[in-house]
Structure 1
Amino acid sequence: MLDEKSVRVALEAERGRIRAEIEDSAESRATVELDQTSVGRLSRMDALQGQAMARAADERRRLRLSRIAATLTRLDDGEFGACVSCGEDIAEARLMLDLTTPTCIRCAR
């Protein structure tokens, strides 16, 4: 069985890493200047595409933070490892792949 203390430590470490990534990527999500005299059309398109990709990555990071927060709440409530849909235990192998997994394999299907 997974040790809840080590699960908490791992989740909090991941949360810290993700928050640092969000801060580090702030510049790449900033509004792209469209000054046509200083940047060519293809460079502007590349910049806009880069910005869109950075925003999408940031959204994935924020969703992961939400999953981590929900898992930490389940840990606090003594419900970690139980499926949020049916209440049955989630297989340890499934949790080992992703500690934030909220459902058993049957309910995930």
Structure 2
Amino acid sequence: MREDEARQRLTRRAAELDEEDRAGAEGRAPVTLQQDSVGRLSRMDAMQQQAMAQAQERRRAAERKRIAAALERLDEGEWGYCLTCGEEIAAKRLEHDPSVATCVRCAAGQD
């Protein structure tokens, strides 16, 4: 994968994450107690939905950080090299996810 392709994919994915955040904002809103119209089980279901939406938001934030770090490595000319051992990351691994920072061996914890 070429660096310009990686930059485009990373930038596009960051924009998708922003859109997902906007779309999921309602699901992360506080759950209010309306005893006259919402039963206990409905409120528990709403709280579970809220917790799942918040977990998704945290995953998107972590992915956004990985994308920002990958874009920084691109700017510095360090993209495509393992942060742990310094070896080149396999092209197929980068094609699958251009934000990866380690080679397969280091990701698996092997030296």
TM bin, normalised by shorter chain, reads over 0.9
CA distance in 2, matches of 1:62, 1:93: 25
5 Å matches for 1:25-64?
25-64=24-63
Q: What secondary structure sits across from 1:75 in the alignment?
A: helix
State the one-letter code of the partner of 2:97: D
CA distance in 2, matches of 1:18, 1:26: 12
CA distance in 1, matches of 2:45, 2:66: 32
5 Å matches for 1:1-40?
2-40=1-39
Q: Which residue of the partner structure matches residue 103 of structure 1?
A: 102
The normalised TM-score by structure 2 is 0.94
1:95 CA displacement: 1.0
Q: Deviations over 1:27-54 (max 9, x none)?
A: 1100000122221011001100000000
% identical equivalent positions? 50
93-102 or 79-88, which deviates more:
93-102
Q: Deviations over 1:58-107 (max 9, x none)?
A: 11111110000000000000000000011100011111111111001111
- Superposed CA RMSD in Å reads 0.8
Q: Which residue of the partner structure matches residue 82 of structure 2?
A: 83
Gaps of 5+ in 2: none
Moved over 6 A (4+): none
Aligned residue pairs total 108
CA distance in 1, matches of 2:20, 2:90: 31
